[in-house]
Amino acid sequence: MKMRTDISTAYDRADLKQLLRKTVWRGRSALRTLLTLLPLAILAVLVGGWSSDPVLELVGYILGGGLLGWLVLITPSTGSRIALWKLRRGGQPPEQTFELADDAFVTRSSNGESRHNWSSIVSVETELERLFVFVTDRCAFIVPKRAFGDETRFDSFSAEASARWKAARA
């Protein structure tokens, strides 16, 4: 059985902000990076401050400052601001059509078509009037409830997407 919506699904700023909130610390790699580099940055600053050798002191401060600066860039709030800034500069993503095929989640836009097998999808989540279909840990298609005009159609679409994803993972 195919379920399809041909309703305009252009993303708005709220959709993308919600996706950024959901994905900013998603996965363990960002937290692992933070927990690894923070002690190294502190150690480098301490070595620079306690060293009597001026060259070692300068290297410690430069290395520590660089690591701390990099950590600031990967924090959630900074990452979200950078992603939104890039989005504003690049324009909005094109309108999309979503289809729940038996074997895949299918999207179509002016850029072409993509098929993501249900077994390869990372997760399917419904939150704040949006369905998120994660194709990687930090990349998802957003299906907003407003695209359906009817809450029951959105609920059945979300339930069907979840059911197909769970069935493929079983």
Give pLDDT, residue 35: 67
Q: Which amino acid is at 57?
A: E
Dist CA 143 CA 111 (whole Å):
17
Q: 3-10+93-169: which CATH topology? A: PH-domain like (2.30.29)
pLDDT score for 23: 66
Between 43 and 71, the higher pLDDT residue: 43
Chain centroid to Cα 69, Å, comes to 22
Q: Please, which residues have CB within 8 angstroms of residue 59's CB and are 6 or more apart in sequence?
A: 48
- pLDDT bin (cut points 50, 70, 90) of residue 165 is very high
pLDDT at 40 over 60: yes
Distance CA 43, CA 70 (A): 15
Start-end of H helices in 75-150? 76-90
Q: Dig out the tokens for 82 from the structure.
A: 């950078």
Please report the pLDDT score of residue 159 as a whole number: 92
Q: What is the pLDDT of residue 74?
A: 59
Q: Which amino acid is it at 41?
A: A
What does the pLDDT look like over 16-37, one tens digit per residue? 777 766 765 555 555 666 666 6
Residues 6+ apart with CB under 8 A from 150: none
pLDDT per residue as tens digits for the range 69-122 = 666 665 555 555 555 666 666 666 678 888 898 899 998 888 889 999 999 999
- Please tell me the pTM assigned to this model: 0.62
Question: What is the rounded CA–CA span in Å between residue 166 and residue 39?
Answer: 40
Q: Alpha-carbon distance 43 to 32, whole Å?
A: 17
Q: What is the pLDDT of residues 120-161, one digit of tens each?
A: 999 999 987 899 999 887 788 888 898 888 888 899 999 999
| Per-residue exposure over 136-167, b if at least 16 CB sit within 10 Å of its own CB, e if not | eebebbbbbbebbeeeeebeebbeebbebbee
Predicted confidence at residue 36, as pLDDT, reads 66
**pLDDT for the residue 117:** 95
